[in-house]
Amino acid sequence: MLGWGLVLFLLAQQSIWKALFSLLFPSAQSPLFERETLLNLTLQHLAITFGAGALVLLVGLPLVVLVTRPAGAAFRPLLENLVAVGQTFPPVAVLVLALPFLGFGSSGAVLALFLYGLLPVVRNGLEGLTSLPSDVLDAAKGMGYARAQMLWAVELPLALPVILAGIRTSLVLILATATVAPLVGGGGLGVPIIAGLAVSNLAYVVQGAAAVALLAVLLDWTLARLEQALTPWR
């Protein structure tokens, strides 16, 4: 949490960023994107990222559990094909297709990022739950565990490291790809990037890209620490 607090504090220092980018880009008429502060853009970016990430977890993990049970095993190929197609489509294409139904705003961006982030969670979840040691499962059955007990007390704890790795990949991917959100009025750190490209202002582009890179590194580091805390037996 200290790292996040420090980064957000630094992003709130508009005067420092303006002085820095004035030095880095002395020829730019407007070295700092000032229609929105970097802090506000960062908070918008994180809201879109975690909104899409929450949807991925709420939809992806239950589907993984469903298709790894005997009753839902027949749907596993369908699920794998659907999530693969979801990542094959560029997020920009999904944004355009969603625009007539969801209109301008963050909803279309969240939908596109949700579809884009499903694959790592589903793929790792399937791998984790289908590659468990058979002797451990047999021992649990011999102890009289019911199916629900097997899932919560044996299967999910053993598969947790692989599942968490998929969640980590998915969230970092979503955060990086969320720069397309402004194309449908979604806001976030893609705003200065797109504005900079539109007016050929490299300073704007660097501001957005540097902030996204910083957040991606921090998010990956945070999730790595969380993995270690939740799976101390690894």
Residue 223 lies in a domain: yes
Spatial CA neighbour of 152 closest among 119, 129, 185: 129
List pLDDT tens digits, range 150-169. Answer: 888 899 999 999 999 999 99
Would you state the structure tokens that stand for residue 142, as one six-digit string?
């011999």
pLDDT over threshold 90, residue 100: no
Confidence of residue 79 (pLDDT cuts 50, 70, 90): very high
Residues 180, 102, 113, 208: what is their CA dihedral angle, to the nearest 10 degrees?
30
On average, the pLDDT of the chain sits at 89
Per-residue pLDDT, averaged over 11-34, amounts to 89
Total number of residues shown for the chain: 234
Query: What H or E segment, with its residue span, contains residue 230?
Result: helix 202-230
Residue 155 lies in a domain: yes
User: What are the residues whose beta carbons fall under 8 Å from the beta carbon of 4, sequence distance 6 or more?
Assistant: 218, 222
Residue 13 lies in a domain: no
Rg (CA), the chain: 21
pTM above 0.75, yes or no: yes
List pLDDT tens digits, range 166-204. Answer: 999 999 999 999 998 888 878 899 999 999 999 889 999
Would you state the structure tokens that stand for residue 33, as one six-digit string?
């994107």
Write the CATH number for 44.
Answer: 1.10.3720.10
Spatial CA neighbour of 154 closest among 179, 122, 132: 132
Phi-psi region of 141 (alpha: psi -120 to 50; beta: other; left: phi over 0): alpha
Cα 8 from chain centre: 19
Least confident of 4-8, 54-58, 88-92, 124-128: 88-92
Confidence of residue 234 (pLDDT cuts 50, 70, 90): low
Q: How much is the pLDDT for 86?
A: 76
Residue 200 lies in a domain: yes
Spatial CA neighbour of 87 closest among 56, 46, 54: 56
Residue 130 lies in a domain: yes
List pLDDT tens digits, range 28-72. Answer: 888 889 888 999 999 999 999 999 999 999 999 999 999 999 889
- The total number of structural domains in the chain stands at 1
Instruction: List the domain range (segments joined by +) for residue 147.
Output: 37-230
Residue 214 lies in a domain: yes
Spatial CA neighbour of 38 closest among 4, 2, 8: 8
Spatial CA neighbour of 45 closest among 37, 33, 34, 55: 37
Residue 170 lies in a domain: yes
Residue 8 lies in a domain: no
